[in-house]
Amino acid sequence: MTAAGDGPWLDDAAGRLVRPFTVSNGRTRPTVALDLVSQVMATGATPLGYLGPEHAQAIERCRVPVAVAEVAAHLKLPVAVTKVLLADLVDCGALTTKPPAFHHNPTDRALLEAVLDGLRRQL
C-alpha cells in the first residue's frame, strides 16, 4: 500500500481505496459541457479554497493542452468523475477549455461511411 501523499490510495489486492464518487463529492454532472476530446489547459491562476489531490494532479497534467480522455486515463478515474473535477477547475479559473478543432465536417457523409466501413470490418 502506498503512503497517503504518494498518489491515489491503492491496495495491491483491493485496488483503489477511495471510491471515484467520493473524489467528486458524489456529483455526477459537470457544470461545464465537456466531451472526451475537449481540450483543457491550465491558466496559471491559483484556485481559491480547498481542492483535492486529484484536482492538483489534473492541473499538473494540463500545463499543455490535453484532451479530457487523456486526463481521465492519467488520473485513473472514470471519465464522468474527471469531467466533474475539470469543471470545478474551469469554474474557479484554474483551467480553460475549448471544443476540439475539427478539420472536417463531423457530419460529413463520406467520413461517417468510412467510420461505418471500418467498424464493419472489425466485426
- Calpha distance 99→11 (Å, rounded): 37
pTM equals 0.65
Alpha carbon of residue 119 to chain centroid: 26
Task: For residue 30, give every residue at least 6 positions away whose Cβ sits within 8 Å of its Cβ, in sequence order, or none.
Answer: 83, 84, 86, 87
CB-based burial, 48-73: b 16+ in 10 Å, e otherwise? eeebeebbebbbebbeeebbbebbbe
Q: What is the pLDDT of residues 8-25, one digit of tens each?
A: 555 455 444 455 556 666
* Averaged pLDDT, 41-66: 89
Assigned C-alpha cell, 7 = 498518489
pLDDT in tens, 61-120: 999 999 999 999 999 888 888 999 999 999 999 999 987 766 656 677 887 888 888 888
Q: How far is CA 86 from the centre of its chain?
A: 6
